[in-house]
A and B are shown apart, each in its own frame.
Chain A
Amino acid sequence: KAGVTQTPRYLIKTRGQQVTLSCSPISGHRSVSWYQQTPGQGLQFLFEYFSETQRNKGNFPGRFSGRQFSNSRSEMNVSTLELGDSALYLCASSLAVAGNFQETQYFGPGTRLLVL
């Protein structure tokens, strides 16, 4: 089975622009979660999507948004980019068997975003 894929792998943007990142989960996985990793704050949970609905959300401003499509692929969008948004953005997928959220997360390679 192919692993979790993320595109693009690297991205450079300027302040004020917006960006869309894409994540394709492992085939059959229904849950996709997004994480931000920075040297200062470490790994932080952004949000999680299941069946095209946002199920959980971390403590990030509304500039960070996402969506999930019917094939479980997910996108996250960051509007009005700030310098502090420079980070590695990781997505992870899991099976999300109904009633069980204690599941192994399978991570993608990440998208490294640099905001200038």
Chain B
Amino acid sequence: KNEVEQSPQNLTAQEGEFITINCSYSVGISALHWLQQHPGGGIVSLFMLSSGKKKHGRLIATINIQEKHSSLHITASHPRDSAVYICAVSPPSNTGNQFYFGTGTSLTVIP
């Protein structure tokens, strides 16, 4: 059983569409991270959140701790948003960083 489940696995959207990627986790966490990975492998951290909602440009991330669920929204999607989006959680600990990763959502935005 995976500690972190993402849906959908694959997503194709037309440019301009509103996109939602979901992440559910089964462990207690201290933080949830949304990562973006472009072809070629480079990973960029988009958000780290432990409660509520964060917004950066066209990206919005929300988390519901009680329901153990987070969503990543992309407004006005663009072909350059095409990437794999990965949800990761860090469990409570008083030291260090440890992560459980979702399997990723592959997003393709068509012009």
Q: Which residues of A contact B (CB under 8 A)?
A: 31, 33, 35, 37, 42-45, 48, 50, 55-56, 58, 88, 90, 92, 94, 96, 101-107, 109-110, 112
Contacts and interface: CB of A to CB of B under 8 A. Distances in A.
A33 B96 CA distance: 9
B86 A55 contact: no
B50 interface: yes
Given A102-B50, A105-B33, A110-B41, A43 B97 contact: no
A110 B40 CA distance: 9
Contacts of B35: 107
A110 B44 CA distance: 12
B93 interface: yes
Contacts of A50: 95-96
A101 B96 contact: yes
B41 A31 contact: no
B97 to A, nearest CB: 5
B20 interface: no
B109 interface: no
Interface in B37-81: 40-45, 48, 50
Given A107-B43, A109-B42, A101 B90 contact: yes
B55 to A, nearest CB: 16
Contacts of A107: 35, 42-45
Nearest to B88: A43
Nearest to B102: A42
B43, B50, B88 interface centre (most CB from chain A within 10 Å): B43
Contacts of A103: 48, 97
B9 to A, nearest CB: 11
Contact of A102 (B42, B88, B90, B95): B90
B41, B86, B94 interface centre (most CB from chain A within 10 Å): B41
Contacts of B44: 107
Interface string B96-107: 111111111000
